[in-house]
Chains A and B, each alone.
Chain A
């Protein structure tokens, strides 16, 4: 875990060994911790997915008991969302937000440490739940009652792990909002902030608004399980559908929590490698804000088959489709940024371009699912699995990978191996599509999700998807190798390895000094991001 950032310290002594990482109040150290934690969870949750795909390689039951299969789908979802994607973006925020706004550190450095170190505690609870009697939670990552109420001890462990992760997210988000609102260098008005900082400001707002709702709804699960409440029990006047309303009031903004920072990363990478300013900066900001506000009004599109009244179905169908407008604005702006740019195609750019193309496919399949009569057919089929993996893997995870390549030279002081990066990109992009594109067809012909066995006519596409998944998984080991190689050495990156970059972090050395911007930098130009 020895990122080179720490070797170039000023006069200060940075303590060595594990205590440094346990007690650190430095945003770069904490960002590094977040990113490594997220990569570890990504590999663990990915391995769970490979077990799923191994079982689905052929029809019939080969390796796994159905109950264990259900544990795998549940824990794969929970660990990827709360363990891999969200902490990765917080890691980016920790490293980049202070650097991009010219701040000395995060607003609350000690709280920042706590936000991170709550995550391993939560991961302990969640991962160890595989080994308790009855195995891990197996009711799906959405934790729907009544199934969730009926599970064993692991279900309690998962609830409490979610409480810890929620606390971590809330504290982290408060820290990020405060940093952005209060620690910008003089002259950097809100509308001069780098777009990545904007996306994180809005993401953090969403986190503070909806993570507490998740906390309250899983608390209701816990009291229904153990303390005799009847929130989700019709015999007591409660309603299991009420859980879904409350859960998705959290769950849909959560989707944008996982995609808005990805938009921020892509909107940073594309202008750099097109060597043009981001097209339509102001409209980008308004688009992100609109998506965030609309995200509170669309939750029941996850529930079209629960017997909503027709008026409700129509409302949620149209409000969902409305989100396509600001999202379309963003995609248009990305394409316009590339238009007549001096484009070059280094690894970060490849990932950003793939994100734009593939996320758009995921967005379109989302629009298909927003149409009530179609959704009634496709609910809980592999079409939905294909849809959210185009959004969450191609949208979120691939922009995280692109972002890592983009900023690794800044973080480590070394250039990564471009050849390995390109191989990793092509393997990932191709294997991803081989894995998930066939799932559209499987869903359209009716293959249900979360079932370990399937009818023989689904066999070919499933075999193809499983082959793709194993290639996809193995290529991430190449990513791990490339990152470690870059940390350990490589061509010196210089302060600014990307000539088209315009944000403040590139004015610092690579790696930046342990305490960056101890005095606020002076903005020298009128460009939105503070650097010519």
Chain B
């Protein structure tokens, strides 16, 4: 069915309702899983698979529409606004966890140490597993793996931009090589993060330090994984010849997202590892 207006209006679609059913199944499964019910994990997997099916189907539809030239001009501009605001919402999600980190370090922990009423003898300081814990641990040193990881992610930001230059100038080998390098650097980053996780002397249960450390780095790692998956899809589309020098919004969206996880990492490096 053709769109009734020059601004492309998609026909009715089954993907959104499938996505809602998938998320409801996943959420219900998660609740059951937390309640230690055996059915929970199965329901979560089913919901996850359905969600994957929905995302593939939905994005597949959009890609076909894009190749048919339906998403140019004003629609393309909408996509740009949409991606910008989506990334802004992600920034605010991380802002919540950074807020918790700053509040705990600068207000909650010093307040506990100063009051002495609740926990006599608690000295405070950072890192801390809190006054109720006897656990002693050394935090991850910033100038080891985390510094290397910073270098890796910053380089990957450069390689994805280099790939973009290749795309703008029609140098196919440069796009492919740039994207491959970016994905490789991202995978190396994730590998090193996993190595670091296994080597830490503390866990997510280690008081407020462990909680903020693992939640912030964990959600960041999840976003790097998502960004790397996006770049893999983009690489596939490059190989399939989907992009031209002037029309390649999907590539730009993925690279914006990659730069966003890069910036979040810089903040993590400074405030979680270094200071």
Contacts and interface: CB of A to CB of B under 8 A. Distances in A.
Interface of A: 10, 12, 15, 19-20, 22-25, 103-105, 107-111, 113-114, 117-118, 120-121, 124-125, 153, 156-157, 160-161, 163-164, 167, 170, 173-175, 177-179, 181-183, 208-213, 215-217, 219-220, 223, 225-231, 233-239, 241-242, 245-246, 249, 515, 517-519
Interface stretch (B93-101, B143-151, B167-175, B224-232): B93-101
A209 B88 contact: yes
B14 A23 contact: yes
Contacts of A210: 92
B20 A121 contact: yes
Contact of A230 (B21, B34, B89, B207): B207
B96 A216 contact: yes
A160 B33 CA distance: 13
A235 B133 contact: yes
B86 interface: yes
B13 A231 contact: no
B86 to A, nearest CB: 6
B208 A236 contact: yes
A115 to B, nearest CB: 8
B58 interface: yes
A445 B6 CA distance: 63
B61 to A, nearest CB: 8
A437 to B, nearest CB: 38
13 contacts: A19-B12, A113-B17, A161-B27, A175-B82, A209-B89, A212-B92, A219-B215, A223-B211, A230-B130, A237-B208, A238-B211, A246-B96, A515-B9
Interface in B181-235: 203-205, 207-212, 214-215
B11 interface: yes
B130 A236 contact: yes
Interface stretch (B108-116, B153-161, B237-245, B247-255): B108-116
B12 A157 contact: no
B182 to A, nearest CB: 26
Contacts of A208: 85, 88-89, 92
A24 B203 CA distance: 47
B103 A245 contact: yes
Given A20-B12, A113-B17, A153-B34, 5 more contacts: A110-B13, A125-B27, A229-B214, A231-B208, A235-B130
A121 B24 CA distance: 6
Contacts of A230: 130, 205, 207-208, 210-211
A297 B269 CA distance: 28
A518 B4 contact: yes
A174 B4 contact: no
Nearest to B9: A105
A163 B103 CA distance: 23
A233 B131 CA distance: 10
Contacts of B27: 121, 125, 157, 160-161, 163-164
A506 B111 CA distance: 60
A22 B93 CA distance: 30
Contact of B78 (A183, A236, A239): A183
Nearest to B128: A237
Contacts of A237: 104, 108-109, 112, 128-131, 207-209
B5 A226 contact: no
